[in-house]
């Protein structure tokens, strides 16, 4: 087994100390270079941000806010710390949301994931991520340069040409979505083309289903997953141990209760929130909108960083009730008003065709007075009437849901 560097096998306490030691200087850099954080962290003394507890007091930046921020202050909403002309590239994701790329090899930190997938110097990578508008193609390209690999920039579409290139160039590794790999293999069968040179793959960008995993294994392709975004680059990756996704070394991970800035207990499902140490695009407590949970212990592969279960759904569970939007942040605000309430979930049904909201709350001791108080808070915060139901602590499922839309329309 070949590790990317010695950072991957550090003692977890050593890693944590190193990350915390960098925090205050990074917060100071961010406040000094980013117009957005200069405002949002104006009252924060950077020298005091040296622990996770201190980090947890800072405001959360939510991905769904980026579009409005960028429209108000183009192109990056004031989040970037490097002037536009000194960046390497600018990308556009659906929205559009603009994402910067700074200068330097492997700026997106993708090489570690390729290495864990068994890719090494001298390999030819068939890269089917797009080089058009979005950054995914360049994420892989920069990582390949760092590893000493050659890249065929295939991009998306043109399946017959993809098959022809694989059959003639004989790449050992595919990178792209799992669904497109399946399409390529099926097209190769149809054309009677030999694409057996593909032995490894790194897939991302969509769910990876068990049937796909079985198909690729039967074709002799070892496929590994990666979790990345256009805002953050590489977040976590799979190793040969096949036990969760391992966090990238240059990140601080928090799992928060959706709609809040509050960390959940270990193992509980919540929203993935990341703090980077990226000097060009310094995102502090960036809420991805994705749900996951931390796995206990370390990977059997020898890498010692935190592991997450992978993508477990979306944290933004905003729903419309009686013509009005209800947000997870509002449910969190209701819970904060009542110390007796632990976890809570708003369940929306449409009995007899009418929308009904029920606030299900975990409480140790219930009573009519508390139910009336919670109902009043729910009405005050959401401007909608709802019922209240109490359940015992631990009754609600560990799935990260704050709002459950249980309405039936058939």
The stretches of 97-209 forming alpha helices (DSSP H) are 111-116, 136-147, 159-169, 178-191
pLDDT at position 172, please?
A: 97
Furthest-apart CA atoms within the chain: distance in Å: 75
Among 323, 345, 330, 336, residue whose Cα is nearest residue 378: 330
User: In 5-159, where do the E strands start and end?
Assistant: 61-62, 89-93, 97-101, 124-127, 150-153
Query: Helices 368-382 and 328-336 sit at what angle, rounded to 10 degrees?
Result: 140
Kindly tell me if the per-residue pLDDT of 409 is higher than 80.
Answer: no
Residues 130, 137 contacting (CB under 8 angstroms): yes
Task: Give residue 260's pLDDT.
Answer: 85
| Predicted local confidence at residue 317, as pLDDT | 82
Percent of the chain with pLDDT over 90: 81
Distances (CA, A) of 204 to 9, 208, 209, 228, 234: 24, 8, 12, 7, 10
Q: What is the pTM of this model?
A: 0.84
**Rg of the chain over CA atoms, in angstroms?**
23
Domains of the chain, earliest start first: 6-308 (3.40.50.12780), 319-405 (3.30.300.30)
Please compute, for residue 54, the number of CA atoms within 13 A of its CA located in the half-sphere on the CB side. Answer: 14
More confident call, 350 vs 43: 43
The region of weakest confidence among 1-10, 145-154, 324-333 is 324-333
Q: How far is residue 335's CA from residue 300's CA, in Å, rounded to a whole number?
A: 39
Token representation of residue 214? 């079985």
Q: What percent of the chain has pLDDT over 70?
A: 99
SS3 content of the chain, % helix, strand, coil (to 5): 30, 25, 45
Query: Residue 30 CB: number of other CB atoms within 10 A?
Result: 25
Residues 353-379 have a mean pLDDT of: 91
Query: Could you report the per-residue pLDDT of 230-278, keeping only the tens digit for each?
Result: 999 999 999 999 999 999 999 999 999 888 889 999 999 999 999 999 9
Mean pLDDT of 385-407: 92
**Residue-level pLDDT at 1:** 59
pLDDT at residue 354 in the model: 77
pLDDT of residue 315: 78
Q: Identify the helix (H) or strand (E) that includes residue 347.
A: strand 341-349
pLDDT (tens digit per residue) in 273-295: 999 999 999 999 999 988 999 99
Give residue 410's pLDDT band: very low, low, confident or very high (50, 70, 90): low
According to the model, what pLDDT value does residue 319 have? 84
Residue with more model confidence, 30 or 96 = 30
Give residue-wise pLDDT tens across range 123-132. 999 999 999 9
Within a 13 Å sphere around the CA of 360, how many CA atoms are in the beta-carbon half? 17
- Given pLDDT bands bounded at 50, 70 and 90, which one contains residue 94? confident
Strand, helix or coil at 275? strand
Mean pLDDT of 310-327: 81
Whether 173 has a pLDDT exceeding 90, the answer reads yes
**Band of the pLDDT at 375, cuts 50, 70, 90?**
very high
Mean pLDDT in residue range 69-85:
96
Q: What is the mean pLDDT of residues 291-318?
A: 91
Determine contact, residues 222/199, Cβ cutoff 8 Å: yes
Lowest mean pLDDT among 10-14, 34-38, 117-121, 396-400: 396-400
- Position 289 scores a pLDDT of 87
On average, the pLDDT of the chain sits at 93
Instruction: Indicate if the pLDDT at residue 353 is higher than 70.
Output: no
| DSSP-based three-state secondary structure for 261 | coil
Q: Is the pLDDT of residue 348 over 80?
A: yes
Q: Are strands 200-203 and 222-229 parallel, antiparallel or unpaired?
A: parallel
Distance between CA atoms of residues 173 and 336, nearest Å: 50
Tokens 């929203």 locate to 271
pLDDT at 86 over 60: yes
């Amino acid at each position: 087994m070949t590790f990317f560097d010695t950072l991957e096998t550090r003692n977890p306490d050593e890693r944590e100390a190193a990350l915390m030691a960098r925090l205050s200087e990074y917060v100071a850099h961010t406040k000094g270079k980013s117009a957005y954080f200069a405002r949002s962290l104006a009252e924060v003394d950077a020298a005091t941000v040296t622990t996770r507890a201190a980090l947890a007091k800072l405001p959360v930046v939510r991905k769904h806010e980026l579009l409005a921020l960028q429209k108000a202050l183009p192109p990056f909403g004031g989040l970037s710390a490097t002037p536009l002309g000194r960046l390497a590239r600018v990308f556009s994701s659906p929205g559009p949301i603009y994402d910067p790329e700074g200068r330097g090899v492997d700026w997106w930190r993708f090489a570690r994931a390729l290495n864990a997938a068994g890719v090494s110097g001298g390999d030819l990578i068939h890269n089917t991520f797009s080089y058009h508008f979005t950054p995914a193609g360049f994420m892989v390209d920069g990582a390949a340069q760092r590893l000493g690999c050659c890249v065929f920039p295939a991009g998306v579409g043109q399946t017959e040409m993809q098959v022809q290139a694989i059959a003639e160039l004989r790449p050992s590794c595919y990178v792209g979505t799992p669904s497109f790999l399946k399409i390529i293999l099926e097209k190769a069968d149809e054309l009677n083309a030999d694409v057996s040179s593909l032995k490894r793959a790194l897939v991302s960008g969509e769910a990876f289903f068990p049937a796909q995993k079985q198909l690729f294994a039967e074709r002799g392709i070892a496929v590994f997953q990666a979790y990345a975004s256009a805002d953050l680059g590489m977040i976590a990756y799979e190793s040969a141990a096949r036990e969760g996704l391992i966090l990238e070394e240059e990140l601080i991970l928090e799992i928060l209760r959706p709609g809040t800035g509050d960390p959940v207990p270990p193992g509980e499902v919540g929203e993935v929130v990341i703090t980077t140490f990226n000097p060009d695009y310094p995102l502090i407590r960036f809420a991805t909108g994705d749900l996951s949970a931390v796995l206990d212990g370390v990977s059997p592969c020898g890498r010692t960083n935190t592991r997450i279960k992978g993508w477990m759904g979306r944290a933004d569970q905003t729903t419309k009730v009686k013509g009005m939007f209800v947000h997870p942040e509002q449910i969190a605000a209701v819970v904060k008003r009542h110390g007796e309430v632990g976890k809570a979930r708003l369940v929306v049904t449409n009995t007899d065709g009418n929308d009904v909201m029920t606030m299900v709350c975990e409480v140790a001791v219930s009573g009519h007075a508390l139910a009336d108080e919670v109902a009043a808070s729910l009405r005050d915060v959401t401007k909608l009437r709802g019922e209240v139901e109490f359940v015992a602590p631990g009754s609600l499922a560990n799935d990260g849901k704050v709002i459950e839309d249980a309405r039936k329309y058939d």
